Structure 1
């Protein structure tokens, strides 16, 4: 059975506490945290992990994955190293990396170079007991269907994994999402289920992504893949949890 997680940005400690309190009640197994939900704990990653648990609780699901927007400049590299150490210390399964570099002007050689660099960082993260998973992103290096082929053709085997985001695929012009899931199944460890329409991310079932076909394909990928509702619509936390739960109940 696929593990089902939830992710949503929050504004301030009160909203974060609400998210942490409510996600299990709606049937989600864990949270994939955005940067603002853990960033203050990274100055000293190991001590920060202890402070995080003291502040938010020790339940493993509270930090099943951490999501970061990171370039690979010197500051970004240092943050990625600190985040891998924090994730390992707090018991997180993976670091999900949105490679925060503009796509414009890049060619295949850049993608191949990035693949080698991120393979190195994936190996370093594995030493902390953490998987490094690339989140492709509109406007970033891995964006179009061909980018996936070039980039993951150069990634070293058994290093970097792939987080597929259904909303960002459609926004980037990739419409056959089940085909991409099938073709890259060997590297996929995480799927961000997200709806999209008319320039905005939407609640599940309220956009243009063929989520039913996506879920049918996800069911064939095996138990090692995490399915995460990455809820980035304008809805408030409880509405996002409720609508997401009800959609999954109708379609799975």
Structure 2
């Protein structure tokens, strides 16, 4: 599955994204927090309201992305998102762990791995996958962080969303090597370009995307690929350039 994700401002932009992504060849959307955040009070009722307002196509909610800490309030919100994901038929919740990386040590990463293992088990009980999105400035950021953190995840419960742009932004240059080394836990890949402090349209940055796509082709065929378009481009330009890039650099058979 090749999905698409892009921030929107207001209902008009969100409607444009929902209406137009299929014509560019994308099978689904991975939603940012503000694109579903008003539907978390009552999972079942809000799922019905979401479908009524935005459409019932399963692709509209292929994954839900959230930035959450793991304090009491953050866990409560994460559980609400998991409940909504289950009710609306979303495949996974992608968690950006909203805690500063500075000052943390291995014991903190191991503790976080235990807490997220518990939450991943809860999500699995509702037929939802919980996937950690590593992020610049957050606990799992550097190459060694992945080893420590996923070495402590219990029973392979938690999955990993790899973001190519955030890897390069965090100083990880061997992206293909990381994809290979952690292939057993990767369920989702955010394809993103980056250069000079900014996320870029695909092919307009410094990420070696061709070699990355070659490596992705060797991963589990069930792994989701999502163009996570966070450049300054408008929605239709982002969709068009992303489609053109993937058309010129198709995944090897």
Q: What TM-score do you get using the length of structure 2 for normalisation?
A: 0.98
Asked whether 1:26 is paired with 2:19, we answer: no
2:184 corresponds to which of 157, 178, 186:
186
Asked whether 1:209 is paired with 2:207, we answer: yes
**Structure 1 gap ranges (5+):** none
> Counterpart of 1:82?
80
> Counterpart of 1:152?
150
> Counterpart of 1:245?
243
Secondary structure of the structure 1 residue equivalent to 2:22? helix
1:100 corresponds to which of 81, 89, 98:
98
1:113 corresponds to which of 111, 114, 117:
111
> Counterpart of 2:7?
9
> Counterpart of 1:177?
175
**Structure 2 gap ranges (5+):** none
Alpha-carbon separation, structure 2, partners of 1:137 and 1:181? 15
CA displacement, residues 38-89 of structure 1 (integer Å, 9 cap, x when unaligned): 0000111221111100100110000000000000011100000000000000
CA displacement, residues 136-187 of structure 1 (integer Å, 9 cap, x when unaligned): 0000000000000000000012300000000000000000000000000000
> Counterpart of 2:231?
233
> Counterpart of 1:199?
197
Deviates more, 1:149-158 or 1:31-40: 149-158
> Counterpart of 2:163?
165
Alpha-carbon separation, structure 2, partners of 1:157 and 1:148? 16
> Counterpart of 2:52?
54
Deviates more, 1:94-103 or 1:40-49: 40-49
CA displacement, residues 64-121 of structure 1 (integer Å, 9 cap, x when unaligned): 0000000001110000000000000000000000000000000000000000000000
Per-residue deviation, 1:223: 1.3
Per-residue deviation, 1:222: 2.1
Alpha-carbon separation, structure 2, partners of 1:103 and 1:46? 36
